[in-house]
Structure 1
Amino acid sequence: MSSVSQTNVQQQTGKSLVASLFSACKQLKKIHVSTLLLALILAAPLISISIEAFAPNSDTFAHIQQTVLADYVINTCLLALGVSILVISIGVPLAWLIAICDFRFKGFFQWALVLPLAMPAYIVAYTYTDLFDYAGPIQTNLRNWFGWQSATDYYFFDIRSLPGAIIVLALVLYPYVYLMVRAGFLEQQANLTHVARTMGYSPTKCFFKVSVPVARNAIIASTALVLMESIADFATVKYFAVSTLTTAIYDTWLGYYDLAAAAKLSIIMVAGIFILLYFERLQNGKKQTHNDAKLSAQKLVYQLNKKQSFAAFCFCSLILLVSFVAPLIILADYAIDYFSQAWNDKLLQFTLNSLIIAALTAIIAIVFSLLLNFSLRIKPNKLHKSSLKVASSGYAIPGTVMAIGVLIPLAFLDNQINALAESLNLSAPGLLLSGSFIAIVLAHSIRFIAIANKGIEASYSKVSPSLDMVAKTMGQTSFNIFRKVHFALIRKSVLVAGLLIFVESMKELPAALLLRPFDYQTLPTYVFQYASTEQLEIAALGAIIIVVVGLIPLIVINRSIEKN
C-alpha cells in the first residue's frame, strides 16, 4: 500500500473515531440530562409534601396537635417496636433451622416459609377477626362447651387491638427477616463454630455467641425493613381501630379535607423513618463481621436427632399454619360458599385494573432503575450517585404519604393544563392526571423502584468494567453496550425485581384507596370496602385472587434462586 493511501486510511480512521467520540458525548449528555430529570420526578412527592407542610398551621392541625398527636406517635412507635421484636423471635430461629440444621421436610419449609409474603396483612386481619371475634366460631364453641353466657364470664384475647395488630403484621412480615438472615447464616463457615465447640460451648451457646453475631448486619437491615413496613401499614390498623400516624393522615385528608394538615403529619412520619434508616446504617457501619474463606470452605451443618427434628418440624409447621395456611383455608371456605354472589363482571374488571396497574408499575420502575444504574455505570459522578439514592428513598415513604406527595404536583399540572386549554379556547380536560389511574401507577412506581435498584445495582457490581472497555474498542455505542452486554448479564435480576414489584403493587392498598378516580376499584380497594363493612364472605374470592397472583411470581423467584 502506498504512503498516500495509508495517509487517507489514517485520516478516515481518525475522522471516524472523532465522530464516534462526538456521538458518545452527545449520548452521555442526553443520559446526564435525563437522569437529572428523572431524579427530580422521583423526588417531587417528597418536595411537594415538605413545601405543603411548612405552610401556616391550620385549625385542624392545631387541634390534632393539642389532643391526639401524642397518641398517634406513641401507638406508631409501640406498633413498630412490637412487630420488630416478634419478627426477630420468629424469623431468626427459622433462618437458623433452615440454613444450619438438617431435618426432615427441610426442603419443603425452605420455600414454603416465604409464602406469607403473598398474603397481605389486612387479609390476615380480616380472617382472624372472623375467627377470634365474639361471634366467631372459637368463642361461640367455648361458650357452648363451658356454658358461659356472656363475655363477662370469661377472658378472651381481643384481636382488634394494638397487640392483635402487632401479631398479624409480624405473621406476614417475618419472611423479610427469614430470607435475609438465612443468607447471613449460609455465609457462616464451620471453623468459627468448631473453635467455639473446642472452648466448651454448647450448640445453643454457639447460636447466641457465634451465629447471631455473624448475621448481625442482616438482622438489623431486615428488621429496619420490617419497621418501615409496619409503620406504613394502613388497612390492618384501620380495621383494628388502632390510631397511628397513617390512619391520622387518612382521616385528616378525607375526613377534614385538610391537605395541609395531612402533609404536616406526613412530614413527621417521614422524618421518623429517615431517622430510623440513619441509625440502621450507623449500626451496620460500626461493626462488620467477616469470614475468612481460606480457613475453611466447609459449611456448618447440625444433624438433628429425632426429638430435635420433630421439634423443628412442629415449629416450622406452626408458623406456616398460622401465617398462611389457616387464613387461606378460611378464605377458600368463604369463596366456595359465596361464589355465586362474588363472581361477576365487576370482579373481573377490578382484577384487570389491578393487573394493569401492577404490570405498568413493574415496567416503569424497571425502566427508570435501569436508566439510573446505567448512568452511574458509564459515568460514576456525584449526580448519578445522588439520583440513585433519591430513587431508593421512595420505599421509606408510606403509601398514604406517597399519595399526598403525588397528588399535589399532579393537581398543579392539571390546573396548568386546564388554564392553557381555556386560553386556547379549547374545552378543559379536567383532572387528566390526578383524576385517573395514572396517579396510582406513578405513586407505586416511585415507592417500589427501590426494590429494582437493590437487585440491579447488586448485579451491576458483578459485571466487570473491562467488558465495557472491550465493547468500546469494538466501536459499540453506549446503547449497544447496555443492550448486548449489560442487560444480557443482569436480565435474571431484572426479572426477579420486576416480579417482586408486581407482587407488591398488587397488594398495595393506601395509594390506590386515596388516589383512585370516582367509581374505580382495584382488588385491594374492593376487598377493603367489603371487609370494612363486615362482609368478608363476599370479599373472600377477591382476596384469594390477590394471594394466588402473588404466589406465582414467588414460585418463579424461588426456583430462580435455587438454580443459582
Structure 2
Amino acid sequence: MIQNLLEFTRDNLNRLQPSVSKPGSGLWNILTVTVALLVSIPVLTVAANIFVPSGDIWQHLASTVLPGYIKNSFWLMIGVGSGVFILGVGTAWLVTMCRFPGSRWFNWMLILPMAVPAYLMAYTYTDFLAYTGTFQSLLRDITGWGLGDYWFPDVRSLGGAILMMSFVFFPYVYLLTRTAFLEQSSSLLEASRSLGATPLQSFYKIALPLARPSIAAGMALALMETLNDFGTVDYFGVQTFTTGIYRTWFGLGERAAAAQLSAFLLLFILILILMERWSRSRMNVRPQGTGRFRRLSVYQLKGWKAWGATLFCALPVLIGFLIPTLILAEMMISNFSAAVDARFFQFSFNTILVALLAGFVALITALIMAYGVRLNPNLLTRTATRIGAMGYAIPGSVIAVGILIPFGWADNTIDGWLRDTFGFSSGLILSGTIFALIFAYVVRFLAVAYNTVEASLGKITQNMDEAAEGMGYGFGKILRKIHIPMMSGSLFAAIMLVVVDVIKELPATLIVRPFNFDTLAVQVYRLASDERLAESSGAALAIILVGLVPVIILSRSITRSRKTEGEGK
C-alpha cells in the first residue's frame, strides 16, 4: 500500500523503457504469465458469473436493496471524496509551503491516522460519543443539561461513516499531494509572487492545477478503501455493496447473486481507475525547469492565520489517531485481564502466522512476475502482470467471492470423483482452509510487493545481467546470486508492508477464513458487534501499533525529501 502511494507520484508511463526480450527466456515468460493468470482468478471468476442465472433472487435484490446499496455507496464516495480532498490537500499545502507553530512536526504526524483502520474508528467513537460515553457525560457535567435538554447527532449513520473514513483515509491524498508540491518548480511560485499573487491565489491558480494528477490518484486510493470497507458500514447499519455481498453469500446462500453484486461493485472501481488514468493522461510531463531542484520559498504565517493553520493540521491527528488510540489504551488498562487473555495470544499467533505466510508468498510471486517482465518486456507479460497486480484495487469482499466460487467447485469435483471411485470423501481441500485465506491475501496485496520489487529491480543496470550471462550464469542463478542480495532491503520492506496490510484486513478474512480460525481483526469485529468493545481493546490496540510500521517508514522517507527554506540541511 505505502509503496503504491509513492509509485503514483512518478511518471509511471515512462518508467519502464522498451527493451528486447532475452534469448532463452521463454520458460520465464511462460512462468510469469501463468502466475499472473493464477492470481487473476478471483476477478475473472466474478466477471464470468455476471450472466450466470441466479433465479428470482437477483430480481428480488434489484427491486428491494440494490437501489439502497447504490445510493449509499454513491454518497459515501461523494462525502469521503470531499472530506479527504479538504483535509489532504489543505494540510499538504500548509506543511509544505507555510511555516507556523508545529509545522515541522505535522509533516509526519499527519500520516499517523493511516495506522488506524476505519472500523476501529467507528467502534471507539461510538462508545466515546454515546449518551453514556465520555464526551456527552462531560458535556452534561459542564452545562447541567439532562436527558431531552439538547440534541446530539447520531454517529451511527451515513454521515458518521463519512466522517470516520475521511479522517483515516485523507493521508492517501496528503502524501501524494505533498510530494507533488515538493516536486513543483519554485520558479513558477516565485514568479506568481512577483506578480503580486497572494498565497491563496498561488495555491489556487498554480500549485493546485499542477498537483491535480497526484490529488486524483490519492482520492482514487481513498475511495477504493471506502468501497472496500465492511466493518464501519456494517457497525453503523449503512447498507452498501460490501455488506450486501456478505449477507447475500452467508444469509441467503446465493453465490451467483453475490458474484453479481461483486461485479456491480467492480463497476464502481473501474470508474475510479479510469478517472485516475484520465487525470494522469492529461498531466503535463514536460520538465518544469531547474527551479524544481532549489529549496522552496515558504510563507511565514503570523497571528490568527498561524494558529488557524496549527488547529487545522492538529484536528486530523487528534481525531484520526490520538483520541481512538488513547481510548483503546485506557480500555485495555482498565480491563487488562479480559482484553489480554489466552484468546488474545491465540488470535495474535493466527494473525502473525497468516500474515507472514502471505507476505512470503506475495514476495515470491512478485519476484517471478517482476523478473519475468525484466527478461521479456513484451505486451503479453506487461499486460498479464498488470492484471495480476490489480488486486489492491479490488475490495476484499469481491476477492473472497471470486475465490470461494472456483475453490468450492474444485472441492466438490474432487470429492465427487473420490466418492465414486474409492468410496470415501476428501472434504474441503481448498475452500475453507488457510490455503484459501493466504491466496486471498496474496491476490489482495500482491501490488504492494510487486511495486516494491519492480522499483528495486529497475535500479539494477542491465550491464550487470550481461556480465553475469557472459560468465555462464543462467537467469535463475542471476536472480538468486546477484539481484536478490542487492535488493535484500527492499524485499524485507515488501514483506513487512504486506504483513501490515494483512493484519488490518477484515472483509476477506471474515468471508474466507477457516472454521474456528479467527484473527485479531475478526475478534475485534465480533466483540465490537456484541457491544463488548472493552474486551476487544487489546486486539484493536495491537492492530494500531502494527500499523505504525509503514508510518515510520514513510516518516523516514519524508525527512529525506526536498528541503524548504528555513529547514536544516
In the TM superposition, what is the alpha-carbon distance from 1:214 to its structure 2 partner?
1.9
Match of 1:65 in 2: 62
**Number of the residue aligned with 2:88:** 91
Q: Is 1:369 aligned to residue 366 of structure 2?
A: yes
Structure 1 segment 278-297 matched on structure 2, within 5 A: 278-288=274-284, 290-295=286-291, 297=293
Check if 1:264 corresponds to 2:260. Answer: yes
In the alignment, residue 432 of structure 1 is paired with which amino acid? I
Give the CA deviation at 1:138: 2.2
Q: For the structure 1 residues 313 and 492, does the alpha-carbon distance in structure 2 shift closer, same or farther, using more than 3 Å as the test?
A: farther
Contact 1:188/1:299 (8 A) holds in 2: no
Task: Report the equivalent of 2:6.
Answer: none
Q: 2:171 aligns with which of 165, 172, 175?
A: 175
Offset from partner CA, 1:254-288 (integer Å, 9 cap, x none): 11111111111111111221122112201210232
Deviation at 1:492, TM superposition (A): 3.5
Matches within 5 A, 1:468-479: 468-479=465-476
TM-superposed CA distance for 1:146, in Å, is 4.0
Q: What pairs with 1:74-89 in structure 2 (closer than 5 Å)? A: 74-89=71-86
**Structure 2 counterparts to residues 210-225 of structure 1, below 5 A:** 210-225=206-221
Distance 2:537 2:389 in 1: 34
Deviates more, 1:46-55 or 1:212-221: 46-55
CA contact (8 A) 1:129 1:159 kept: yes
Counterpart residue number, 2:407: 410
User: 1:377/1:26 Cα in 2 relative to 1: closer, same or farther (>3 Å)?
Assistant: closer
Q: Deviations over 1:495-549 (max 9, x none)?
A: 3332222111100001111112222111011000010111101111110111112
Which residue in 2 is equivalent to 1:229? 225
Kept in 2, the 8 Å contact 1:365–1:448? The answer is: yes
The corresponding residue for 2:195 is 199
**Corresponding residue for 2:160?**
164
Q: CA contact under 8 A between 2:448 and 2:498: conserved in structure 1?
A: yes
**Aligned equivalent of 2:454, options 445, 448, 457:** 457
* d(CA) in 2 for partners of 1:416, 1:557: 47
Separation in structure 2 between the aligned mates of residue 236 and residue 507 of structure 1, nearest angstrom: 13
Q: Distance in 2 between matches of 1:88 and 1:563?
A: 25
Q: Following TM superposition, by how much is the alpha carbon of 1:111 offset from its aligned partner in structure 2, in angstroms? A: 2.3
Task: Tell me if 1:518 matches 2:515.
Answer: yes
Which structure is higher in helix share?
1
Q: 1:454 to 1:204 in 2, by over 3 A?
A: same
- In the alignment, which residue of structure 2 is the partner of 1:277? 273
Residue 88 of structure 1 and its aligned partner are, at CA, apart by: 1.0
1:54 Cα offset (Å) = 1.4
Alpha-carbon RMSD across the aligned residues, in angstroms, is: 2.2
2:38 to 35, 41, 65: 41
Which one of the candidate residues 460, 481, 495 is aligned to 1:498?
495
C-alpha contact 2:183 2:292 (8 A) present in aligned 1: no
- Aligned partners of 2:115 and 2:547 also within 8 Å: yes
Q: Distance in 1 between matches of 2:292 and 2:401?
A: 53
Deviations 1:396-415, CA, capped at 9 Å, x for gaps = 21111111111111112222
Deviations along 1:482-504, whole A, 9 cap, x unmatched?
23443344444333332222111
Q: 2:438 aligns with which of 441, 453, 457?
A: 441
Change (3 A) 1:82 1:25: closer
Identity of aligned residues (%): 38
The alpha-carbon distance between structure 1 residues 557 and 144, as it changes in their structure 2 partners (threshold 3 A), is closer
Aligned twin of 1:6: none
CA distance in 2, matches of 1:131, 1:64: 35
Quote the residue 2:130 is aligned against: 133
Matched-pair contact (CA < 8 Å) for 1:189–1:299: no
Output the TM-score relative to the length of structure 2: 0.90
Aligned counterpart for 1:310 among listed residues 298, 307, 311? 307
Return the alpha-carbon distance in structure 2 between the equivalents of residues 137 and 563 of structure 1: 40
Question: Would the alpha carbon gap of residues 25 and 176 (structure 1) be closer, same or farther in structure 2, given more than 3 Å must change?
Answer: closer
- Name the counterpart of 2:427: 430
Where does the alignment leave 5 or more consecutive residues of structure 2 unmatched? 1-20, 562-569
User: Which residue number in structure 2 is paired with residue 381 of structure 1?
Assistant: 378
1:234 CA displacement = 0.7
The amino acid across from 2:289 in the alignment is A
Moved more, 462-471 or 169-178: 462-471
TM-fit CA distance, 1:443 = 0.7
- Give the SS at the match of 2:293: coil
2:543 aligned residue? 546
**Residue 84 and residue 512 in structure 1: after superposition, are their counterparts in 2 closer, same or farther (change >3 A)?**
same
CA distance in 1 between partners of 2:520 and 2:97 (Å): 40
Contact 2:32 2:385 (C-alpha < 8 Å) held by counterparts: no
In the superposition, relative to structure 1, how do residues 562 and 202 fare at CA in structure 2: closer, same or farther (>3 Å)? closer
Change (3 A) 1:28 1:296: closer
Deviates more, 1:226-235 or 1:487-496: 487-496
CA distance in 2, matches of 1:347, 1:154: 40
Tell me, in whole angstroms, the C-alpha distance in 2 between the residues paired with 1:133 and 1:305. 38
Contact 2:437 2:512 (8 Å CA) reproduced: yes
Q: By how many angstroms is 1:561 displaced?
A: 5.8
Q: How does 1:81-120 map to 2 (within 5 A)?
A: 81-120=78-117
2:356 & 2:398 partners in 1: Cα distance?
22
Matched, 1:343 2:359: no
Amino acid in the other structure paired with 1:192: L
Q: Distance in 1 between matches of 2:26 and 2:174?
A: 43
Structure 1 residue runs without a partner (length 5+): 1-23
Letter in 1 for 2:295: K
Residue 13 (structure 1) aligns with: none
Quick check: 2:108–2:558 contact (8 Å CA) kept in 1?
Answer: no
CA–CA separation in structure 2 for the residues paired with 1:107 and 1:479: 46
CA contact (8 A) 1:58 1:260 kept: no
Asked if 1:532 corresponds to 2:529, the answer is yes
Aligned pair count reads 540
Which one is further off, 220-229 or 428-437? Answer: 428-437
